Structure 1
Amino acid sequence: MRILVVGAGYAGTIAANRLAKKVKTAEITVINTHPDFVERVRLHEHIAGTGAAATPLASMLSERVATRVGTVDKIGDGQVTLADGASLDFAYLFLAVGSTAAALPDTIAVGTWDGAQEARARLAGLPGGKTVTVIGGGLTGIETASEIAFGRPDLRVRIVGRTIAASLSAGAQKRVRTGLDRLNVEVVEDSVTQIDPDAGEGGGDMVRLHSRPPVTSDLTLWAVIGSVPDLAARSGLEVDAHGRAVVDEHLRSVTDRRIFVVGDCAAVPGSRAACATAMPQGAHAADTLARMLQGRKPQPYSMGYTGQTLSLGRHDGVLQANRRDDTVRRLYFAGRGAAVAKERICRYARFGARTATYAWLRGPK
């Protein structure tokens, strides 16, 4: 029996390793576009040159799991077709292709590995005094802007977003502003309408804003994660308005029950794109298949949130407490202790993906 796992992010990696432990008779193959496991929660460190985000898949996956580097073009009836024309049959498949970014033209998307690689190279070549503009006021944008400001204090760093840290409580939002100010990050609350390359002062990009005069940027980064790959839709699986595959209470595609969908590309009610979401889903889906193959009744998926974390450079951060249904509480923690806690959370996610050992709260009743 062959089980294919498409995508080797947090959800796909923990699913593959959990299957290796619990389904001993299966031939498990992970198909990934890159030969590395990428910690998306560390891409801002990779871009700024303050840390690393990639680990060879060979060191992350069980020896029982085979790896194939390639891109899946389509999922058919018990078969996947790769971009190079090859095909692989499967008894079960785990779709874990994550999310991506639909970047504005003439910007670099920092939420993807390829984009982070390009941004890192471009940033390294920028001389002091130049301006970096990060578009996106969410946690990805905040971490990217603050990490660059921390790692390259010789640059002028700007973050542009309609609202900065909108997912946090009012108090935590204020603290994020304080952290950005300490790093000399300029905050512009507005939306970007257009980028005119090489039209700004000194040959930089002209960044046009909705309600303010345009600004000049020597490197413009897109930090909005707002879409998912179209593999599910292209393969005929039922998807929601955002392109995420619709799943049942056991995380199986409602179109093809042989296909489990986990992580950012799964339309799970109440979920948000995060490794805190991907890890439980990947683990639960693997456990569900193991139970089914043993003739046991599968359990419905349930997961509750605890909060949100973000770093503001290497020595500052914010931990926002959330209720299990992911609504924010007034409580938050900030400072060096929060930065240390964020680092430990990132390490635990990587440990869980590699060892298939991970615990989470059940969802609200």
Structure 2
Amino acid sequence: MNIVVIGAGYAGAVAANRLAKKAPGVALTVVNPRPDFIERVRLHEQLAGSGSAATPLAEVLAPGIDTRIAAVGKIGDGTLALDDGTELDFDHVIVAVGSTATPLPGTVPAGTWEGAEQARRALDELPANSSVTVIGGGLTGIETAAEIAEARPGLRVRLVSGEIGGSLSRGGQRKVRRGLARLGVDCVTEEVERVDGGRAYLRGGDVLETDLALWAVVSAVPELVARSGLAVDAQGRAVVDEFLRSVTDPRVLVAGDCAAVPGMRMACATANPQGAHAADTLLRTMAGRAPRPFSMGYAGQVLSVGRRDAVLQTTRRDDSPLPPAFTGRTAAAVKERIVRYAAYAARTGISVSLPGPR
């Protein structure tokens, strides 16, 4: 039995380590384009130079898992075509290639490893009093702007978006704005149409001068699934059944940001339980048992506003915000524990979550 896991992010690492622990006799291979496990929720730290987001795969994946450093070009009929010209046969495959960014020309993507490294180098070269514009008011944009402002106090940082903290309650949004203001981040509530020649052109007609523009919108997925002829939704995510199996080929399971599961948002809070469930679906299938439907609910959203502050937004299980939102050092400590738990889940294959909303 050959099982291949494509991608060694949160979902892929959880799935691979869970399978290695519960099915030790299975031939298990992880294919990843780089030799490191990347903590996506620490990319803003990597970018700002205040922390590290990379850990060698050898320290994350269990002994006995074969690792191939390559990208998968196409998923075929029981065969994977790799970009190094070789092929891998599989009986089952778990696709966990995550998400990516489609930045505006003239911007650097903040939500990818390559973009974070490029942005870090660009920040290192900026002289004092240079301006940095972060485009995108979701959690990635807020954390990126706050981290740069705190770690690089000599720079002028602004956050530009039509809405800032749109997934939070109104109280949570106010707390975010207060935290950003404390760090000196200028918030501009407007959409950016294009960036050209050191200028960001806003939809309302204003023009902002900027020395570095960062794109902090993570909403796209790699084209692997669509390129392989598997069913995808309008966003290019794999259409799966209730067990996380591709509706086109049940040998292919999909977990994390690239899976079209209703009600799920792109987050490690989603990827870890889905990676675990994909592994469990395979384990039950190999044992001749019926798989169980995937179900999970959310408990909240938490985001850093610098190293010593955070916003902890309580939510319903469907991820809609509740009024209470908490801030301060306690919230920052909770955020750090959550981030460490996500990495622990990746290393151990142990992931727990609330049942989904009824």
Provide the TM-score with structure 2 as the length reference: 0.99
1:126 and 1:50 map into 2 onto residues whose CA distance is: 17
The CA deviation string for residues 199-235 of structure 1, in whole angstroms up to 9 with x for no partner, is xxxxxx0110011420111011000011101100000
Q: Is 1:342–2:335 an aligned residue pair?
A: yes
1:213 and 1:163 map into 2 onto residues whose CA distance is: 17
8 A Cα contact 1:308 1:322, kept in partner: yes
The CA deviation string for residues 33-90 of structure 1, in whole angstroms up to 9 with x for no partner, is 1100000000000011110000000100000211111111000000000112111100
Q: Is 1:19–2:22 an aligned residue pair?
A: no
Matches of residues 129-278 of structure 1 in structure 2 within 5 Å? Answer: 129-197=129-197, 205-278=198-271
The CA deviation string for residues 173-204 of structure 1, in whole angstroms up to 9 with x for no partner, is 0010000000000000001111112xxxxxxx
8 A Cα contact 1:145 1:185, kept in partner: yes
8 A Cα contact 1:190 1:212, kept in partner: no
Aligned pair partner of 2:276 in 283, 290, 297: 283
Q: Percent identity?
A: 59
Aligned to 2:288: 295
1:150 and 1:98 map into 2 onto residues whose CA distance is: 29
CA RMSD of aligned residues (A): 0.7
CA positional deviation for 1:24: 2.0
In structure 2, the gaps of 5 or more residues are none
Moved over 3 A (4+): none
1:347 and 1:14 map into 2 onto residues whose CA distance is: 14
8 A Cα contact 1:246 1:266, kept in partner: yes
CA positional deviation for 1:359: 1.2
The CA deviation string for residues 117-171 of structure 1, in whole angstroms up to 9 with x for no partner, is 1001111111111000000010000000000000001100000000000000000
2:306 and 2:24 map into 1 onto residues whose CA distance is: 43
8 A Cα contact 1:99 1:226, kept in partner: yes
What amino acid maps onto 2:281 in structure 1? Answer: T
What amino acid maps onto 1:36 in structure 2? Answer: D
- How many residues align? The count is 358
In structure 1, the gaps of 5 or more residues are 198-204
Aligned to 2:314: 321
Q: Is 1:45–2:38 an aligned residue pair?
A: no
1:109 and 1:29 map into 2 onto residues whose CA distance is: 30
Aligned to 1:304: 297
Q: Secondary structure at the match of 1:263?
A: coil
Matches of residues 85-164 of structure 1 in structure 2 within 5 Å? Answer: 85-164=85-164
Provide the TM-score with structure 1 as the length reference: 0.97
